[in-house]
Every structure is written in C-alpha cells, then in structure tokens.
Amino acid sequence: MSLLIIEMGILAWIKKILGISNMEKKINIILFGPPGSGKGTQAAKLVEQYDLLHISTGDLFRHEIGNKTPLGLKAKEYISKGQLVPDTVTIGMLKNKVDANPDVKGFIFDGFPRTIAQAAALDEYLASQGESVSKLIALDVDESEIVTRLLKRGETSGRADDQDASVIKNRIAVYKAETAIVFDHYAKKDLSKSIKGIGTIDEIFNRLSQAIDSI
C-alpha cells in the first residue's frame, strides 16, 4: 500500500472523527435584484437543478401568519400598526425554515437580507451552523424594463402596486437606497456577482448556473 493511500486513509478517518465531510458544505445563494427582475422564475429553475430550497420572505410571512405561529402573530401585530417587522422576527422565521430542512443541499434566499443589519444576522446564523453565504448573485435589469414587466404582470396579478408606474419606480428607488448596499457588503468578501437579467429565461438561467458552478 503506497504512502499516499495511507495518508488519504488517515485524513478520511480524521474527518470522520471530527464530523467533517467534503459534501457537508451547503450552497447558500442570495438571489438579488429589484422587484420584477425575475428572481422567482429563476429560483424555481435553480431549485430543480441544484436541489436547493427556495426561501422567500414573502412566503415565510404568509406561512407564519396564516398558521398563527408565535412569530406570525408578532409579525401581524407590527404589520397591523403599519410598522416594519423587526429583524429579530424575520430572522426567527428564516431560522425555523432552515432548521426544518436539514437535508437539502443548500438554500436560495430571496427577499432577504434587505439591509446590512439583516445581512449581519444571516452571516451570524449561518456561521453558528458551520455554514456561510456562498455567493450573492444580482440580476441586473434596466429600470424601464422592470416598469414594463411589472405593469404587464399587473394586468393579471391583481396587485395594486403592479399597476401604477409611479409606485413601481418608488419601489425601485427604495431598493436602490436601502437594499443595494447589501451587494457591497458581500462584494467586500468577494462574494457578489452581477449578471445580465435580460434575455430569455434559459439564457438568464445559464448565466446563473455558470456563477453557481464557479463557487
């Protein structure tokens, strides 16, 4: 038996004793972009391709509030007063979702984090699990294209905020002012990447896949 094989066997034994595995590290993607950038459509394809769990904060809120969980009731209390739901409540919901799905190969975080404080909370939580953000991928779409997309969506979505161009532009402005700085937070760690979010669904998906495969 060669020395190399013996060394590899010893290394594997040490990893086993310490609970370390090359396959344990999850792929944790923050899918970034303004409303109407196509995150939901692409997330569905990424889930299928990479066996990831898509975590949308909108879905989390609806689930927790609909099931009248303690966190859901707390969130509803703030929402009913027209107040922002505290980060502690939002991250609590996210933790519940992650903890309930330990066997997936990773997560797609959609709609979270929206602020530097939320990014720090996510980083801290993932670190406590021996994990980290693998990459933030932003879908870059022109404002005029986003307005066109959302107005088109508004014809069938029934959402009032999809039917008024001025409201849509304000949502984009809020995104740029409050959320885009999260891109810089992860860029400092060399984890942020912007890809072109215009083209066919498959073209955009191929760009996303290349970014993920490079991790």
What is the reported pLDDT for 24? 60
pLDDT by residue (tens digit) across 139-173? Answer: 999 999 999 999 999 998 888 888 999 989 988 88
For the question of residue 68 being annotated catalytic, the response is no
Say how far apart CA 89 and CA 181 lie, in whole Å: 22
> Which residues of the chain are modeled with pLDDT < 70?
1-24
What is the reported pLDDT for 126? 93
Q: Which of 74, 114, 193, 207 is catalytic?
A: 114
Domains of the chain plus CATH, in order, are 24-213 (3.40.50.300)
For the question of residue 114 being annotated catalytic, the response is yes
Which amino acid, one-letter code, is at 31? L
What is the reported pLDDT for 21? 42
Q: Which of 45, 76, 95, 153 is catalytic?
A: 153
DSSP bridge pairs for 107: 28, 53
Say how far apart CA 55 and CA 48 lie, in whole Å: 14
H/E run at residue 193: strand 192-196
* 131 and 101 Cβ atoms separated by less than 8 Å: no
* 28 and 36 Cβ atoms separated by less than 8 Å: no
Q: Which of 39, 74, 97, 207 is catalytic?
A: 39
pTM of the model: 0.81
Q: Which of 62, 152, 159, 176 is catalytic?
A: 159
What is the reported pLDDT for 210? 96
* 60 and 97 Cβ atoms separated by less than 8 Å: yes
For the question of residue 153 being annotated catalytic, the response is yes
Closest CA to 106 of 47, 56, 61: 47
Say how far apart CA 160 and CA 5 lie, in whole Å: 65
